[in-house]
C-alpha cells in the first residue's frame, strides 16, 4: 500500500441530500447548516473552506455521524452514515493531535485496531506499516510528549489511517502548526493520500492550503451555513513546492479568494 498510485475517482463516496442542522441554545435556535447537497467522489480530496461559524466543522461531524442532522440524509460508501461509522469506515484527525500520553507512539496508532478487536501481533504489524507511511518508525517507542507538534500530528494521521478507512475526515489538522511545518505536512498528506487512495474531507480556513491539497474546494458561507460555491482544482498531481509558484496555482488561489470574499461581503456590509 505504499506504492504510489494516481487516485482514480470511480463512484460517489459521500452523498449529502437536504442536510440541515439546528442547535437549540438558551438564546434561541441556531441554524448551523441549511439545506446542504453535496457529492464527494471516491478517492477525492475535498476541502471545506469558509470563515469561522460557517458550519464546516459541523458538516464534517455530520458526515462522520458524530452530529445527527436535523433533516436530510447522509450516505457514505452506499450506506447511511450511522452504519458507516458502526462498520468503521471513518478515520478522524482533529486540530489537536489528541494523542494519549500514557501510550507510546506505536500504541497510540494501535488504539483504533484495539477497539476493533484486532489481535496483538496484527495490530503491531499494522501500526509499524503506518509508522513507515508517516516516516516515524524510529519514534515508535517514544512518548507523544517527546515529539514535536508536527510529528505528533503525523502520528494522529497514522492513527486515523490505521483501520484503512474508506473516508478520512480531518478538522483543521494543520491549523496549530507554523508555516514551515504546515507546508511540509501538506506535502506529506498528499503523498499519504495518493499512497492509500482514501477519500479525504478536509476542513480548513486557509485558501492556499485548500488549493494546494484539493481536487475540489467547497466554499461555505456563514449564518446559516450553506454551500456558496464548488470549485474544482485542476492542477496536476503530484503537487510540489514548485506548484505553489506556478501561474495556474496562483490563478486558482485568486479564484477561490474571490468566491470567499463574495461570501464575506454581505456580512461586512452589514457591520
Partner 1 sequence: MAATRTAPRPSAAVAPPAAPPPPVRARRGASRQLGRTLRDLATAAAVIAMALLAWEGYKALGQATGDLVPLTSLPLPVATDDAAMPHVWQVLAALAGPASTASDQTLLAYYLQQTSVTLREAAYGLALGAAVGVCLALLMRQLPWLGRASMPWLVVSQTIPLVALAPIVVVWIGGAGFPSWVAVTVISAYLAFFPVTLNTATGLLSADLTHVELMRSVAASPLQTLLLVRVPAAVPSFFTGLRLAATASVVGAVVGELSAGAGLGIGRAILTAAYYYSLAPANLYAAVLVASLAGVVFVQVIALAERLVLSKREH
Q: Between 173 and 224, whose beta carbon lies closer to partner 1? A: 173
CB 47 within 8 A of CB 60: no
Q: Could you tell me if 109 and 54 are in contact, meaning their C-beta atoms sit under 8 angstroms apart?
A: no
Minimum separation from the CB atom of position 189 to partner 1 (A): 14
Site membership for partner 1, residue 249 (CB under 8 A): no
- Note whether 251 binds partner 1 by CB under 8 A: no
Closer to partner 1 by CB, 165 or 224: give it. 165
Q: How far is CA 180 from CA 75, 105, 186, 270, in A?
A: 37, 23, 10, 36
Q: Which of 12, 17, 72, 85 binds partner 1 (CB under 8 A)?
A: 85
Of 45 and 139, the one with the shorter C-beta distance to partner 1 is 139
Q: Between residue 145 and residue 204, which ones bind partner 1 under the rule CB under 8 A? A: 145-152, 159, 163, 169, 178, 180-181, 184
Interaction between residue 225 and partner 1 (CB under 8 A): no
Residue 223 backbone dihedrals phi, psi, to 5 degrees: 45, 80
Among 94, 193, 212, 249, contact with partner 1 (rule: CB under 8 A): 94
Q: Which is nearer to partner 1, 187 or 205 (CB)?
A: 187
Which of 30, 96, 195, 264 touches partner 1 by CB under 8 A? Answer: 96
| Nearest CB to partner 1, comparing residues 139 and 212 | 139
Q: Does 90 bind partner 1 (CB under 8 A)?
A: yes
Residues in region 31-50 near partner 1 by CB under 8 A: none
Span of 48-56, 83-91, 213-221, 231-239 interacting with partner 1 by CB under 8 A: 83-91
What SS3 state is found at 44?
Answer: coil
> 149 or 197: whose CB is closer to partner 1?
149
Q: How far is CA 174 from CA 116, 252, 267, in A?
A: 27, 21, 27
Compose the 98-137 pattern: x for residues touching partner 1 by CB under 8 A, - for all others.
x-xxx--------xx-xxx------------------x--
Q: Does 255 interact with partner 1 (rule: CB under 8 A)?
A: no
Strand partners, 169: 92, 201
Residues that bind partner 1 (CB under 8 A): 64, 66, 85-88, 90-92, 94, 96, 98, 100-102, 111-112, 114-116, 135, 138-139, 141-143, 145-152, 159, 163, 169, 178, 180-181, 184
Amino acid at each position: 500500500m505504499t506504492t504510489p498510485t494516481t487516485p482514480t475517482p470511480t463512484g460517489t463516496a459521500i452523498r449529502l441530500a437536504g442536510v440541515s442542522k439546528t442547535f437549540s441554545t438558551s438564546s434561541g435556535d441556531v441554524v448551523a447548516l441549511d439545506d446542504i447537497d453535496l457529492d464527494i467522489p471516491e478517492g477525492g480530496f475535498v476541502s471545506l473552506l469558509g470563515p469561522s461559524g460557517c458550519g464546516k466543522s459541523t458538516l464534517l461531524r455530520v458526515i462522520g455521524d458524530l452530529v445527527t442532522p436535523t433533516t436530510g440524509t447522509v450516505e457514505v460508501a452506499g450506506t447511511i452514515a450511522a452504519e458507516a461509522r458502526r462498520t468503521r469506515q471513518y478515520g478522524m484527525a482533529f486540530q489537536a493531535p489528541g494523542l494519549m500520553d500514557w501510550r507510546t507512539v506505536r500504541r497510540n496508532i494501535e488504539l483504533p485496531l484495539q477497539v476493533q478487536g484486532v489481535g496483538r501481533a496484527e495490530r503491531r504489524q499494522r501500526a509499524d506499516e503506518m509508522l513507515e507511511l508517516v516516516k516515524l518508525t524510529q519514534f515508535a517507542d517514544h512518548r507523544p510528549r517527546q515529539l514535536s507538534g508536527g510529528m505528533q500530528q503525523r502520528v494522529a494521521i497514522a492513527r486515523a489511517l490505521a483501520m484503512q478507512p474508506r473516508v478520512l475526515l480531518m478538522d483543521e489538522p494543520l491549523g496549530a502548526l507554523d508555516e514551515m511545518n504546515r507546508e511540509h505536512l501538506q506535502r506529506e498528506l498528499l503523498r499519504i493520500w495518493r499512497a492509500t487512495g482514501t477519500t479525504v474531507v478536509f476542513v480548513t480556513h486557509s485558501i492556499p492550503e485548500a488549493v494546494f491539497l484539493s481536487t475540489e474546494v467547497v466554499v461555505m458561507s456563514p449564518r446559516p451555513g450553506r454551500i456558496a460555491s464548488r470549485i474544482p482544482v485542476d492542477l496536476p498531481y503530484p503537487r510540489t513546492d514548485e506548484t505553489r509558484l506556478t501561474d495556474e496555482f496562483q490563478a486558482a488561489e485568486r479564484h477561490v479568494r474571490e468566491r470567499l470574499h463574495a461570501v464575506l461581503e454581505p456580512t461586512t456590509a452589514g457591520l
